[in-house]
Chain A
Amino acid sequence: MSKTSRTSITVPATAKKGSIIEIRAIAQHDMESGFRYTEAGKLIPREIIRVFTCTYNQVEVFKADFYPGIGANPLIIFTTIASESGTIECKWVGDDGYEAASQARITVS
Chain B
Amino acid sequence: MSKKYLLSNVALIFLAAIACVSAYGASIQKQSSYELMSSENKAMQDDSSLNPAMFWVNDGQTLWQEKLGPKNVSCASCHGDVKKSMRGVAAQFPKVIKGKLQTLESQINTCRVNTQEAPKLAYESKDLLALTAVIAIQSKGMPITVKKTADNASYLNQGQDWFNKRMGQLNLSCAQCHEDRAGLRLGGSLIPQGHPNAYPIYRLEWQTLGSVQRRLRNCMSGVRAQHFEYGSPEMAQLELFLMWRARGLPMESPGVRP
Q: Give the interface of A toward B (CB within 8 A).
A: 5-6, 8, 10, 24, 26, 28, 30-31, 71-73, 75
Known A-B contacts A8-B49, A10-B49, A75-B50; the reply to A28 vs B207 at CB < 8 A is no
Is B85's beta carbon under 8 Å from chain A? no
CB B70 to nearest CB in A, in angstroms, measures: 27
The distance in angstroms between the C-alpha atoms of A24 and B43, with both chains bound, is 14
**Within 8 Å CB of B49, what residues of A?**
8, 10, 24, 26
How many contacting A-B pairs (Cβ < 8 A)? 27
Is B254's beta carbon under 8 Å from chain A? no
**Within 8 Å CB of A75, what residues of B?**
50, 52
Closest chain A residue, CB of each to CB of B44? A75
Closest chain B residue, CB of each to CB of A9? B49
Is B208's beta carbon under 8 Å from chain A? yes
Closest chain A residue, CB of each to CB of B53? A73
Closest chain A residue, CB of each to CB of B55? A28
CB under 8 Å from chain A, chain B span 137-189? none
**Within 8 Å CB of A28, what residues of B?**
52, 55
Is B201's beta carbon under 8 Å from chain A? no
Apart from A5-B55, A73-B207: 7 A-B pairs, beta carbons within 8 A: A6-B59, A26-B52, A28-B52, A28-B55, A71-B207, A72-B208, A75-B50
